[in-house]
Structure 1
Amino acid sequence: MLSIVLKNILQLKISVLLLIFDNMSLWLQSIHQQWKGLHPTTRSIMLARAFRSLGQGALVVDLTLYLKALQWSGFHIGWVLSLAGIMGALLSLVVGISSDRMRRKPFLLLYECITMICSLLAFLTAQPLLLTIVIVIAGFGRGANGAAGPFSPVEQAWLAEEVLPEKRGKVYSWNTAMGFIGMGLGALLAIVPAFVHHHTLTLQYGVLVQASAYRPLFLIVTVATLCNLYLLYRAKENYNGKIVRESHPQEVPIRRQENKMLAGLVFLNAFNGVAIGLTGPLISYWFALKFGKGPGEIAPMMAITFFITGIAAVFTGNISEKKGIVTTVVYARAIGLILLLLLPLVPFFWMAAILYIARSALNRGSVGARQALTVSLVRDERRGLATSLNAVSMQLPQSAGPSLSGWLFSAGNLGLPFYAGAACQAIYLVLYSRFFKHQNKPITNPS
């Protein structure tokens, strides 16, 4: 009798696995067909994001651990990341507006060249001043999900060029997904220092890998930038600079409405930026302090986080087409807010890892949908401005977070940054749902 029951259970498990495999196969075939339907330029920009995210994934895990191994204090680490955020925010505003007046492709090529030079310098030296300058210029360790740092407004504006307005929610979510999947692969590479180091330094909070073992990770960035230079150089751009429009009376209300939307976006992003800055850039450092873990444990956890967030981004794009961008963003991030409050309370690494993974999928899986909303608030010739304002209004408040969090973490307060971030996130969600409630449908081109 028992053997019959076990046999039936085994057959049921096999049937369920076959059903899952068939559904996954159909889903992957559908994704492949939709990918082939994208414009070649769109595919090139998205592939460049995937390559770029490899290095970002490795460094978002290991940069703070590397600096920690170099005996940098928590405040020093946070200060450098904050300075990088301020630098990126100011530069992104200039770059975005300039790209509206000229073209977008040259700016991205310039960014890749700068990043390649910085990665080589970081590989060759650990001299504190030079390493600080390189981190600030290139924005290493900030985990931009494959975005082109301060040049990301250019990337987003160019990506919109060959995508129909009603398809932007899905395409931008796919773009986000590719970034997260690349970050996941990069995070797996972040395990390497745990295996190649020659000896460890035992401190009161655990075991640290020798600092020199981290430096080869910067070569991942170098190789990725070379691939991106090839992809982006071959990509076509139709936009030739700002469109000169004749002055018409109807132009005034259109521009006034666009400005109103952008002003609201800037105001809301301030709260979101503070929340991200308090809880995001130093998360690996937090796991190391609270649980005494190193790259061997943190890197696989981060890799799983990025992979699942990438899958969540794809589903978010599909849901946003049916339920609307605003509804999708608000509900997903509201659940993520609850998980953020629980994160500093759990006593075990595995519990914190599960909460962090789930929160990331819900919170960051909606990034693409929010970017699609941003580029659709204005006409084509103002997309660089819109994406720049979106970036600056996030990055400037965000840049204050790492310094404050680093100081609190060094003082032994491992919970307050999460609670403060949750409060800012709650304000953001309430205001976001109210201000953009009329944008909760497939968006048409404002031009």
Structure 2
Amino acid sequence: MPPIRPEAKRLMAARFSRSIAQGALVVDFALYATRLGWSAAFLGVVFAVAVLFTVMLTAAIGPASDRLGRKRFVLVYEAISALAAVIALASHATWPLAFAAVIGGFGRGANGAAGPFGPAEQSWLSGFIERRDFGAVLSFNIAIGFFGMATGAVLAGVVGARQELFLLPLVAALIAAALLIVTPDPPRGAVPARSGQAAATRGENGLLWRLAGLNILNGTGIGLSGPFMSWWFAAKFHATAGTIGPALAVAFAAGGIASVTTGALTRRLGVVRAVVLMRGIGLASLFALPFAPSFATATAIYALRSAFNRGTAGARQAVALGLVGDERRGLAASVNSISVMVPRGIAPALAGVLFESGALAAPFLLAGLFQGAYLFLYPRVFGAHDPSRPP
């Protein structure tokens, strides 16, 4: 692992704080909403609206952070997270809770990222990292989020699907805000004109369009299965929060270990090859998951899938941020996020209808087809743009 600057460490610590709360909500929010009488279809619509809300903000925040600085935007996210938690603590009525879930991203498992303000956070962090170290350090940053999610999943099993659960995102937002306030945001100076800049910008834009196209495939696969894992475990195996929490904690911890492993592989194989290797194993696990005969087998397969699929998130961020210069990384992060989130906003509504009809395997199989296409095309599009190579 290359040296990590103190500023980057504080940003990573804020991510860890958020990820604990997000891990707990991944386990318990769907179960809590079901106890309040929400159907799977309505829950899917709430997840979809939450993603679309995130998309609208993300589209503006990434480019704006390139011009205005990153810190202020991430601090706004902490304020919104605190507000959502307060609403959920104050009321269990359907519409206030649905509103809080939309603005707070409850149950979506963002791995500690700052929701729609994630592009500002990513570009802020990248300013403290050398380009050649993107794969290793960003993978480590993702690993921290996974370990926090694992901690939160264990806490969820202890707390249960109760209203007091929302104390976790409130405390997490306050801790993260305290860390961010003392972290400097380097000023964004004017970018000097360069010979051939217009042509370089057109080339970068072409790469970003290709990134968006591939991410649509990936995001659809994620949205068809990810938000419903707690619901699926409960529906198929009659599992409770006390058993689902530890199971997801193992999966998140496995994802953290895999992310560290991916970071090491990026320094040996390159970033793109590391992504293809890890995601290939994750894809095989995804196809096997809906046919698991028992809860223990299902959770073991899910942990394997989580490890090899989610463990590449940092490496994929490295590829996206490495496609452009420093002055456009907020834009690149926004494109990377939006192109995943838009299909993630649509797919849960379809998945909710399929699950509600009793088709407990179909969403996983559809997800596998979309992610298989993504994995086939990824090295063909980005193999020549690996950030581990000299620019």
TM-score normalised by the shorter chain: which range applies? over 0.9
Match of 1:114 in 2: 80
Match 1:45 to one of 2, 11, 31: 11
* Distance in structure 1 (CA, Å) of the matches to 2:269 and 2:72: 37
Match of 1:220 in 2: 168
Match of 1:205 in 2: none
Q: Which runs of 5+ in 2 are unaligned?
A: none
* Distance in structure 2 (CA, Å) of the matches to 1:443 and 1:242: 27
Match of 1:414 in 2: 360
In the TM superposition, what are the counterparts of 1:2-401 in structure 2 within 5 Å? 37-194=3-160, 214-238=162-186, 240-241=187-188, 243-246=190-193, 248-401=194-347
* Equivalent pair of 1:324/1:440 in contact (CA under 8 Å): yes
Q: Which amino acid in the other structure matches residue 109 of structure 1?
A: L
* SS across alignment from 2:162: helix
Deviations 1:364-392 (Å, cap 9, x if unpaired)?
Answer: 00100110111111011100000001000
Once the 2 structures are TM-superposed, how far is the Cα of residue 249 of structure 1 from its aligned partner?
A: 4.3
Once the 2 structures are TM-superposed, how far is the Cα of residue 243 of structure 1 from its aligned partner?
A: 2.5
Once the 2 structures are TM-superposed, how far is the Cα of residue 332 of structure 1 from its aligned partner?
A: 1.0
Question: TM-score, with normalisation over the residues of structure 2?
Answer: 0.98
* SS across alignment from 1:141: coil
Query: What is the aligned-residue identity percentage?
Result: 42
Match of 1:5 in 2: none
Q: Aligned Cα RMSD in Å?
A: 1.2
Once the 2 structures are TM-superposed, how far is the Cα of residue 193 of structure 1 from its aligned partner?
A: 3.7
Rg (Cα) greater in structure: 1
User: Runs of 4+ in structure 1 displaced over 6 angstroms?
Assistant: none
Once the 2 structures are TM-superposed, how far is the Cα of residue 80 of structure 1 from its aligned partner?
A: 0.2
* Distance in structure 2 (CA, Å) of the matches to 1:398 and 1:416: 17
Q: How many residues align?
A: 391
* Equivalent pair of 1:327/1:440 in contact (CA under 8 Å): no
* Equivalent pair of 1:89/1:392 in contact (CA under 8 Å): yes
Q: 1:47 to 1:259 in 2, by over 3 A?
A: same
* Equivalent pair of 2:132/2:387 in contact (CA under 8 Å): no
* Equivalent pair of 1:313/1:368 in contact (CA under 8 Å): yes
* Distance in structure 1 (CA, Å) of the matches to 2:202 and 2:327: 15
Question: TM-score, with normalisation over the residues of structure 1?
Answer: 0.86
Mean CA deviation greater in 364-373 or 398-407: 398-407
* Distance in structure 1 (CA, Å) of the matches to 2:4 and 2:282: 31
Q: Which amino acid in the other structure matches residue 87 of structure 1?
A: F
* Equivalent pair of 2:24/2:153 in contact (CA under 8 Å): yes
* SS across alignment from 1:259: helix
* Distance in structure 2 (CA, Å) of the matches to 1:140 and 1:306: 17
